[in-house]
Amino acid sequence: MTADSWRNLIEHIGLLYQEYRDKSTREEIETRRLQDSQTDPEETSPSEETPSEAEPTSTTENKAPPQISLLRNSNSRFNLWQDLPEIRSSGVLSILQPDEIKLQEAMFELVTSEASYYKSLNLLVSHFMENERLKKILHPSEAHILFSNVLDVMAVSERFLLDLEQRVEENIVISDVCDIVYQHTVNHFSVYITYVSNQTYQERAYKQLLQDKPAFREVISQLELDPKCKGLSFSSFLILPFQRITRLKLLVQNILKKVEEKSDRESTALDAHKELETVVKACNEGVRKMSRTEQMISIQKKLEFKIKSVPIISHSRWLLKQGELQQMNGPKTSRTLRTKKLFREIYLFLFNDLLVICRQIPGDKYQVFDSAPRGLLRVEELEDQGQSLANVFILRLLENADDREASYMLKASSQSEMKRWMISLAPNRRTKFVSFTSRLADCPQIQCVHPYVAQQPDELSLELADVLNILDKTDDGWIFGERLHDQERGWFPSSMGEEILNPKIRAQNLKECFRVHKSDDSQRRKLGSRNRQ
């Protein structure tokens, strides 16, 4: 394929990736809403209806399958696979089973979305990065931080898309795409880790440039107004690689849910998913690493030790939660004296392996008077103690800084804040509802209908259409959830989602999740067996 013909093909893709992603997630939400409202969720949703058997077949059954020029179809604008003229006219829809048609749609979406993604990347490079006015304004070091290795990312996407396009054009019925995903993830997708790890620097540089360089701000605004950008912001183009690598993992999950069990295609999909999971985790770790290091240095500077000093900065330590609580003074027997004077303020820094208990002192400093390993913490909720002792819990340090057991009665500002502290301090404590890993047949679930960006370390950022098990909830509007597709846990406002009420849909979501993570489970069992030996 020549460079000119390749450019022509990309130009015919109707949607930018940001538009595709928004459209796709909205449709996923609506489909799940429809299923949730049905008495029989196994009914086929409108977007998955199989064609009528009255469609002509006899004239096409003996013909060689026509070639599909996916990217040349300028009118499709992300139609379904079954809506393509070549598919309609072939008669293949009356031959394939409904489950196979759904699988074809899932594989087709992976390919078309990659084409849309490449188009958006190409616009980021040609319209923004290579703009002559912008080049004159930016110092080479600023341009490098802002655009990182996007040229490498685009080259990888182009190679990936060419292989996918070739596979689609081999046969009217797509044989598989996960083998291609696997090969490219193993051999080429490390460029995503480099790009995404630079995200914190990138965001900081962009904000600084907007603030310090009016000429930069003016050029970016003008470029964003170009009809090519379809009203999308420059920053929405910069975050494309991170969004894509995460979405690609979900698209492979979708294929995995639809392939026949114990088949070669299931094995290939599991392998591709496992490799993508590794890349996504490395991307997340890359983003966190720099911000965590800076945060730990900042905290270390604020701490003054009244007890034996504890080294705070460690490459394996990070902050889980910090904040102010009220500590009850005096012995436990005095807790029935219901007066606010019983409480005084203390400040907690909770790390993944250590708790530091302080009092705030002048100069934005904190005086440390106790500490304990996180694994030696226990919590207990106090119930029915009256209004003055509402949201109070007991924190026990099995071994504190003086090598003895200590107890603190602590009062939080709200029910949600109390529960958040209790779960963070003692993560293995049983929650109100049961987690994904318990393998129970049912559990309350919620679907995200509004994106949410975490504001605190113990919160969970949500994307549209995320499905989560509800592990705990509070009366003041917070949910502690476990996302099904990656088992990440955290708190978020209940207003961000809609509860899934149909038990059959909840069971189906769990069944699909168990299947996707089948290989993870077998690996855990192998490790457990080795440990026992």
* CATH number for 285: 1.20.900.10
Could you tell me the CATH number of the domain that includes residue 310?
Answer: 2.30.29.30
Q: Residue 72: inside a domain, yes or no?
A: no
Q: Are residues 160 and 233 in the same domain?
A: yes
End-of-domain residue from the set 391, 425, 459: 425
Q: Are 184 and 212 in contact (CB under 8 A)?
A: no
Same domain, 357 and 460: no
Compute φ and ψ for 306, nearest 5 degrees.
-85, -25
Q: At residue 141, does pLDDT exceed 60?
A: yes
Residue given tokens 């993830």 in the structure block: 185
State pLDDT tens for residues 266-325.
999 999 999 999 999 999 998 888 788 889 999 999 999 999 898 899 889 999 999 999
- What's the pLDDT at 95? 93
354 falls within a domain = yes
Which two structure tokens, joined as six digits, stand for 103?
């699988």
pLDDT over 90, % of the chain: 64
Q: For residue 451, give the nearest of 482, 495, 487 by alpha carbon.
A: 495
pLDDT confidence of residue 39: 59
Local confidence band at 77 (pLDDT 50, 70, 90 cut-offs) = very low
Host H or E run for residue 104: helix 98-123
Residue 479: its H or E element:
strand 478-483
* Residue 122 resides in a domain: yes
Q: Which two tokens stand for residue 184?
A: 């490219």
138 with 19, same domain: the answer is: yes
Report which residue type is found at 473: K
**Is there a single domain that holds both residue 352 and residue 323?**
yes
4-26 burial by CB neighbour count: b if 16+ within 10 A, else e?
eebeebbebbbbbbbbbbeebbe
Report the distance separating Cα 155 and Cα 161, nearest Å: 10
Task: Say if residue 400 is in the same domain as residue 509.
Answer: no
* CA 360 – CA 358 distance, rounded (Å): 6
Which residues span the domain enclosing 508? 436-528
Is the same domain home to 163 and 221? Answer: yes
- What is the domain count for the chain? 3
Whether 73 is in a domain gets the answer no
Residues 443, 376, single domain; the answer is: no
129 and 222 assigned to the same domain: yes
Identify whether residues 317 and 274 lie together within a single domain.
Answer: no
Helix (H) or strand (E) holding 8: helix 3-11
pLDDT of residue 72: 43
Range 155-160, long-range pairs (CB < 8 A, 24+ positions): 156/184, 156/188, 156/189, 156/191, 156/192, 157/114, 157/117, 157/118, 157/121, 157/244, 158/6, 158/118, 159/184, 159/188, 160/114, 160/184, 160/188
| Shared domain check, 94 and 13 | yes
Q: What angle do CA 7, 13, 16 make, to 5 degrees?
A: 105
Summarize pLDDT for 215-250 with one digit per residue, the tens: 999 999 999 999 999 999 999 999 999 999 999 999
Residue 97, Cα to own-chain centre: how many angstroms? Answer: 33
- Domain end residue (candidates: 425, 453, 471): 425
Q: Strand 303-305 relative to strand 365-373: parallel, antiparallel, unpaired?
A: parallel
Please determine, for residue 520, whether its predicted confidence score (pLDDT) is greater than 70: no
Residues 219 and 200 in one domain: yes
Question: Tens of pLDDT along 398-410?
Answer: 999 999 999 999 9
> Which one of 379, 399, 425 terminates a domain?
425
How far apart CA 372 and CA 375 sit, in angstroms, is 8
Range in 21-30, 78-87, 231-240, 395-404 the model is least confident about: 78-87
C-beta separation of 337 from 389 below 8 A: no
Give dist(CA 330, CA 343) in Å, integer. Answer: 9
Residue 468, in any domain of the structure: yes
Please give the pLDDT value at position 27.
87
Q: Find which of 39-43, 137-141, 484-488, 505-509 is predicted with most confidence, using mean pLDDT.
A: 137-141
User: What is the predicted pLDDT for the residue at 11?
Assistant: 55
Most confident of 335-344, 492-501, 521-530: 492-501
How many CA within 13 A on the CB side of residue 530? Answer: 6
Q: For the residues 164-193, what does the mean pLDDT come to?
A: 94
Residue labelled with tokens 């965590």: 292
Q: For residue 113, give the nearest of 13, 184, 28 by alpha carbon.
A: 13
Mean pLDDT computed over 343-348: 92
More confident residue, 63 or 282: 282
Which residues are CB-neighbours of 85 under 8 A, at least 6 positions away?
Answer: 73
Residue 450 is part of a domain; what is its CATH number?
2.30.30.40
Q: Are 356 and 401 contacting, i.e. CB atoms less than 8 angstroms apart?
A: no
Asked if residue 66 has pLDDT above 60, the reply is: no
Predicted confidence (pLDDT) at residue 433 exceeds the cutoff of 50: yes
Residue 367 pairs in a beta bridge with 304, 359
Tell me which of 2-11, 110-119, 248-257, 465-474 is least confident.
Answer: 2-11
Going through 334-457 in order, the beta strands assigned E by DSSP cover 343-351, 354-361, 365-373, 377-381, 392-397, 406-411, 445-448
Residue linked to tokens 């590794």: 278
- One domain, residues 286 and 173: yes
